[in-house]
Amino acid sequence: LKQLIRERILRDRTAKAMQTRSKAIVNAMFSEGQKLTRFVDIDKLNSGTPAERQKFEEESQLKTVPDAAKALQDLGTANGAEYGETGLLTPMDLSEHPVLGKTQEALAAEDLRGIPANIVTLAFRGQGLYSPVVVEAQADGENLAGDRYLVWKVRELPDHVPALLEEGVKEQVIKAWKRLQAIPKARERAEALAKQAAKADSLEQGLAEATVTGEKDADAVTVSESPDFSWYRQASVNAMIGRQPLEFGNPVVIDGAGENFMETVFNTLGDGETGVTPNDDASIIYVVRVNSRRPATREAFQSAPLFDTQIANFTIPSQYQEIANQGVRRMLIEQERQLQRRYKLKYRNPMTGDLVDLANANEEDAEE
């Protein structure tokens, strides 16, 4: 009990200190933002053709970026905060960002809005340029108060198909191409390692002298054992209404364990069997072995509601209904692919005028 009280006091003190510091930096950011937008030629911004106005706006944004970066760096140095920046991001890029992707608006206790907006909503539907906002990560056992980030947006471009010469596009294309070329080779190497490891009593023995590429001077294959984990678990975030949402279980030693990984270790492989599976974005191919498994408790299943529950104007989602819905979505996607392959459906790309084989296009998308 003493330890719990101590942790609660520490968490509250840390949160208050972070709120005070954040408020001071936000006020300073607001003042700097006003300076950065003060000298924009409003008349020129509102005159000319739409294309001319768009070009002028983009040029104005680019001119202020260096000043904005220096202003934030100076504020960070003065207030003991670290500075960081991103390039241009799409909503999906931002949602997958390793630092900011899972953050949400940091609301004060007296804020009546109740449900905080996530970072994607704030960036693309809320905040204007140089409007500071405080976002925070979810607190956990190692991070009692949750990390806080003070962010603002310095550039904003309309939806468009990027040209190869645009900033960062060429690098992204090259990176994606290299990755697609590497996936089959990585899987082939992983399957060879799996066959080698299957003959041994453990992965450690089977892969003791193995390297990632097979070359002697290459990096050695690392073997780690995960703790017990389930296919799904209750999410660590607090549910505003109803039951906790579901998320994939955490094997800890796997980076991005998704549906493919769980399907392999729970349904494809038996006890003691060795196989190959990618993580959720196929950036890593793993050689895995199921050491042991224990059956789920039937009591929990029997006592849980199988369908959504309606209370007044609120719907409390059933976790089993959520799992079933995910299965239905996967089945419909696979059904669509089978129909496309069977009837050889094609469509005409409006950008190039080329006929595209839908079945092959979807398979490539799935690999990416």
Q: What is the pLDDT of residues 58-117, one digit of tens each?
A: 777 777 888 888 888 888 888 888 888 888 888 878 887 888 887 888 765 544 444 567
- The answer on 173 and 103 residing in a single domain is no
SS3 content of the chain, % helix, strand, coil (to 5): 45, 10, 45
Segment 29-34 mean pLDDT: 82
Q: How confident is the model at residue 175 (pLDDT cuts 50, 70, 90)?
A: confident
Q: Are residues 208 and 262 in the same domain?
A: yes
Residues 251 and 167 in one domain: yes
Contact 5, 138 (CB under 8 A): no
Strand, helix or coil for residue 356? strand
Strand (E) or helix (H) holding 119: helix 119-121
- Whether 156 maps to a domain, the answer reads no
Looking at the structure, tell me whether residues 50 and 109 fall in a common domain.
yes
Strand duo 246-248 + 285-289: pairing: unpaired
Is residue 136 domain-shared with residue 91, that is, in the same domain?
yes
CB 25 within 8 A of CB 81: yes
Q: Which domain holds residue 134?
A: 2-151
Per-residue pLDDT, 177: 86
Q: How many domains does the chain have?
A: 3
Q: pLDDT tens across 203-225, in order?
A: 999 999 899 999 989 999 999 99
Question: 97 in a domain, yes or no?
Answer: yes
239: DSSP letter: P
Last-in-domain residue among 263, 294, 325: 294
Looking at 294, 317, 338, the residue that finishes a domain is 294
Q: Please report, rounded to a whole number, the percentage of residues in the chain having pLDDT higher than 90.
A: 17
- Residue where a domain stops, chosen among 249, 266, 294: 294
Do 127 and 199 share a domain, yes or no?
no
Name the burial class of residue 218, with classes exposed (0-12), middle (13-18) and buried (19+) by CB atoms within 10 angstroms of its CB.
Answer: exposed
Residue 181 in domain: yes
322 and 366 fall within a common domain: yes
56 and 189 share a domain? no
**240 and 312: one domain?**
no
pTM of this prediction?
Answer: 0.54
